Structure 1
Amino acid sequence: MRIVQIIDSLEAGGAERMAVNYANALAKKISFSGLITTRKEGALRGQIDSKVSYLFLKKKKVIDFQSVFRLRNYIKKNKIDIIHAHSSSFFIAVLVKLTLPRIKIIWHDHYGTRSKETKEKNKVLILLSAFFSSIFVVNLQLEEWNTKNMNCSKVIFIPNFTTSGHAHEKVTTLKGIPNKRIIFLANLKKPKNHILILKAFFDLKLNESEWTLHLIGRDYGDDYSDLLKNFIKSYSLENYIHLYGERNDIKYILSQASIGVLASTEEGFPVTLLEYGLENLAVVSTNVGYCSSVIKDGFTGLLFDPFSDDEVKSQLRNLVDNEALREMLGYNLKQSILEHYSEEITIKKLISAYKITY
């Protein structure tokens, strides 16, 4: 098989990380593995394996004929069988298929919120889904929505995975005291719900026992970001809640923390939980999307309703006060991830799904 992953950017988001993970893992398993980013590179550019064929299309507008024909030439030159299009990159994949009918498109839906959206909001996607050979989804709610609404009969659940990989660079040193650091790995945007964790940190007075909270993720400099910064300043938490922006040395950063949090009001299948687990972090997580399948409450982590201030405070307090519980949950989560969400297991499922299309 000769397969190329397509994604619109290489910024550090969940869908982007999975496109890179797939391309890297497949390079060891199939005759050709490629990765194309359409409109923007980013932090993940440096994580692409040297065995992966890489192309940046430099797409400037919604319909950019130069990019379409650059992609078409790449597909012909490398004799690609399948375009694996992630998220919004389906549009350019369909434009190419109109000029190369033999090419097969698999579309990968990572967007957890879609399961609550109407057909009207997704009318372009639904119309163009007639050109898809298969649809991959990251949770069961998305599987149900796509099966019901899309013009494609093959809808397949493929779990996300992460890999321990290499440590890469060690650049970011977290502030605060070892064994008292809470990490929140998510870009600063809706629906990641950072303010819930900031409020819980303040209400629990965790700063008084020298705990610190560390936000890792892209800062868009918008109203969402301002809300968080104003909260930190208003309650004089500058020495206890730290924003680092987008970082490349995630594995090293996580190795310095004790607790990982995720508070989203909507999720697909957050790779963040897998990354936390591989570094033995005890996790306090929202229960939306596929989170409650990855995190078994009380065994591999603690879950809460992201609309309940009391629940998140109770669960966070449980972990902060109990080091033995943190160690137990961190160990159990890592073992569960190695058993169910390893690269080897997931890539076998992925290749089997490709063969159905192929």
Structure 2
Amino acid sequence: MRVLQLIDSLDAGGAERIAVNFANALTTEVEVSFLCATRKEGILKASINSDVGYCFLNKKSTLDIRAIKRLRGFISQNEISIIHAHASSFFIATIIKILKPKLKLVWHDHYGKSDFLEERPKSVLKFCSRFFNHIFCVNSKLKSWVKNELNTDSVSFLFNFAVRDDVAQTTVLKGEKGKRIVCLANLRPQKDHLNLLKAFKRVTEVYPDWSLHLVGKDFKDDYARRIFQWIEKENLVHRVYFCGSCSDISSILKQSDIGVLASKSEGLPLAILEYGLASLPVVTTNVGDCKKVIENENLGYLVLPENVDALYSAFLCLIEKPNEGKINMGNALNNHVELHFSKKKTIANILAVYKSIERNK
């Protein structure tokens, strides 16, 4: 079995991390594991295992004939039998499937706005889905939507999994040790950084020695500009620190004391699993399948989305919790993530699907 993970970029997003994690994990499970970035490379390229066959297309447009020919040639040359296309890479994968009908095509739906599925564009996806041999969905809402809206019979729910990176420390967090809150989230509207900032500002009025660290990509758009303008207007520039995209996530989390997500919508966010691997106590909004990770208050705090009061109250509960309580909560989440969101379990499920679709000639 020779399998290609296909992803549009190698920026440090959730879908991108999953594609790299899968490619790396499969090196010991299949004959050869490959990964292809279609549009751009990025910080995650350094995380690709040396045993993974790698290809970059440098695709410039939706119908970039040169990129399509290069991908088709790469697949033929390496006798790849399965494409596992992540997120928006399904379109070029469908073209390749049409050109090479015997190729098996799996699509992985990472859609981050699963709480707003009524707004999701679907015409192109619906057409392409006729060529998918299987669809993986990152949460139960997406699975229901896919079954109702798309043209693929074989659909399953697949938990994400996180891994501890072994990247050397390059990021040194500012702020006082033992009093740092971290948020792993690219600057996208559904991550609702403004709600987080408003809650954190109230925290600083009670506990001015705490700091907030934002780790994620700045897309230099209106949303990002509003975030930075708000931080400056509210005089939080010495309490809120933006780290940008970082590869040394494990190191960053070791320097942190609370993990947070304030999203309006999610699938099953990789950030929460990474907080769990780092044994951090967590506050997250109750969106997507976050509740399947934070099942009860022994594992962390679930709060209503777009609710500053709820997020602020949860922060206070954690900050004021004795150190032993914080440690116990972080350890409980670590045990839960290791048991239910393990690489071994997820890869076994993926391999079962791969083998099944290969049998269906």
Q: Which TM-score band (shorter chain)?
A: over 0.9
**CA displacement 1:169-207 (0-9 Å, x = unmatched):** 211110011110000111111100111111111123357
Letter paired with 2:300 = G
Q: Indicate conservation of the 8 Å contact 1:156/1:353, yes or no.
A: no
**Which residue of the partner structure matches residue 65 of structure 1?**
65
CA–CA separation in structure 1 for the residues paired with 2:41 and 2:303: 35
**Which residue of the partner structure matches residue 20 of structure 1?**
20
**Which residue of the partner structure matches residue 216 of structure 1?**
215
The runs of at least 4 aligned residues of structure 1 exceeding 4 Å deviation read none
Q: Indicate conservation of the 8 Å contact 2:114/2:267, yes or no.
A: no
- Per-residue deviation at 1:144? 0.5
CA–CA separation in structure 2 for the residues paired with 1:120 and 1:63: 22
Q: Indicate conservation of the 8 Å contact 1:115/1:145, yes or no.
A: no
Letter paired with 1:158 = L
Q: Tell me whether 1:3 sits opposite 2:3 in the alignment.
A: yes
Q: Tell me whether 1:152 sits opposite 2:152 in the alignment.
A: yes
Letter paired with 2:238 = N
Aligned length: 357
CA–CA separation in structure 2 for the residues paired with 1:206 and 1:103: 59
Q: Indicate conservation of the 8 Å contact 1:119/1:149, yes or no.
A: no
CA–CA separation in structure 1 for the residues paired with 2:118 and 2:237: 42
Q: Indicate conservation of the 8 Å contact 1:82/1:106, yes or no.
A: yes
Relative distance call for 1:10 and 1:206 in structure 2 (3 A) is: farther
Return the TM-score normalized by structure 2.
0.96
Letter paired with 1:262 = L
**Which moves more between the two structures, 276-285 or 222-231?**
222-231
Matches within 5 A, 1:131-142: 131-142=131-142
**Which residue of the partner structure matches residue 48 of structure 2?**
48
Letter paired with 1:109 = D
**CA displacement 1:14-71 (0-9 Å, x = unmatched):** 0000000000000111101100010100010000000000000111110011111111
**Which residue of the partner structure matches residue 337 of structure 1?**
337
Task: Please report the RMSD computed on the Cα atoms of aligned residues, expressed in angstroms.
Answer: 1.4
- Per-residue deviation at 1:327? 1.3
**CA displacement 1:298-320 (0-9 Å, x = unmatched):** 01110101122221111111001
**Which residue of the partner structure matches residue 255 of structure 1?**
254
Relative distance call for 1:307 and 1:114 in structure 2 (3 A) is: closer
**Which residue of the partner structure matches residue 326 of structure 1?**
326
**Which residue of the partner structure matches residue 110 of structure 1?**
110
Letter paired with 2:197 = L
- Per-residue deviation at 1:88? 0.7
- Per-residue deviation at 1:114? 4.7
CA–CA separation in structure 1 for the residues paired with 2:293 and 2:32: 31
**CA displacement 1:330-357 (0-9 Å, x = unmatched):** 0001001111111111111111121221
**Which residue of the partner structure matches residue 31 of structure 1?**
31
Matches within 5 A, 1:122-271: 122-166=122-166, 168-205=167-204, 208-271=207-270
Q: Tell me whether 1:315 sits opposite 2:311 in the alignment.
A: no
CA–CA separation in structure 1 for the residues paired with 2:145 and 2:326: 36
- Per-residue deviation at 1:77? 1.1
**Which moves more between the two structures, 56-65 or 229-238?**
229-238
Query: Secondary structure, in 3 states, of the residue corresponding to 2:136?
Result: strand
CA–CA separation in structure 2 for the residues paired with 1:207 and 1:20: 41
CA–CA separation in structure 1 for the residues paired with 2:305 and 2:316: 16
Q: Indicate conservation of the 8 Å contact 1:57/1:67, yes or no.
A: yes
Query: Secondary structure, in 3 states, of the residue corresponding to 2:133?
Result: strand
Question: Unpaired segments of 5 or more residues in structure 1?
Answer: none
CA–CA separation in structure 2 for the residues paired with 1:208 and 1:276: 23
Query: Secondary structure, in 3 states, of the residue corresponding to 1:231?
Result: helix
- Per-residue deviation at 1:219? 1.1
CA–CA separation in structure 2 for the residues paired with 1:131 and 1:114: 23
CA–CA separation in structure 2 for the residues paired with 1:99 and 1:150: 21
| Residue identity (%) | 42
Q: Indicate conservation of the 8 Å contact 1:104/1:133, yes or no.
A: yes
- Per-residue deviation at 1:229? 1.6
CA–CA separation in structure 2 for the residues paired with 1:346 and 1:271: 14
Query: Secondary structure, in 3 states, of the residue corresponding to 1:117?
Result: helix
Q: Indicate conservation of the 8 Å contact 2:262/2:284, yes or no.
A: yes
Question: Unpaired segments of 5 or more residues in structure 2?
Answer: none
CA–CA separation in structure 2 for the residues paired with 1:232 and 1:285: 21
- Per-residue deviation at 1:209? 3.8
